[in-house]
Amino acid sequence: MEDGSVLVTCATGQVGRATSDALVRRDESFEDCTTISDWLNSDRAITAIARAQTVVHVAGTLKPADHNYERANIIPTQRVASAVKPAWTRKLIFLSYVGASERSANRYLETKARAERLLRET
């Protein structure tokens, strides 16, 4: 990736697509963009995250089909946290949720708060 590059996790999802669209100026396109499918299992994704100067992490879901909030919100965040290179990455932006708390009885809010902590510690 080039200097000033931006990586958006789950850029083809609802929030990720809107985020990507907002990042691209009207007179620009996604021509220089690369989509890495199955990014949670791809070595290419790890390399791309490590080389991005800005990482926008929007992966996760409020209502995972299998009700596994760990798989939906923590595992993707661990993947980002393990790949980010603090000496290279200048900005790390994370989409959390208002009311996120590790003490919450709500699994979504609890896992979002844990994900916040994982990234702060990164």
pLDDT of residue 14: 82
Q: What digits encode the pLDDT tens for the residues 16-69? A: 888 888 877 666 666 677 888 889 999 999 999 999 999 999 998 999 999 999
- Structural domains in the chain? 6-25+32-121 (3.40.50.720)
Task: Give all strands of the β-sheet with 6-9 in edge-to-edge order.
Answer: 6-9, 54-57, 91-94
Whole-Å CA distances, 84 to 28, 32, 56, 78, 80: 27, 21, 11, 10, 6
pLDDT of residue 87: 84
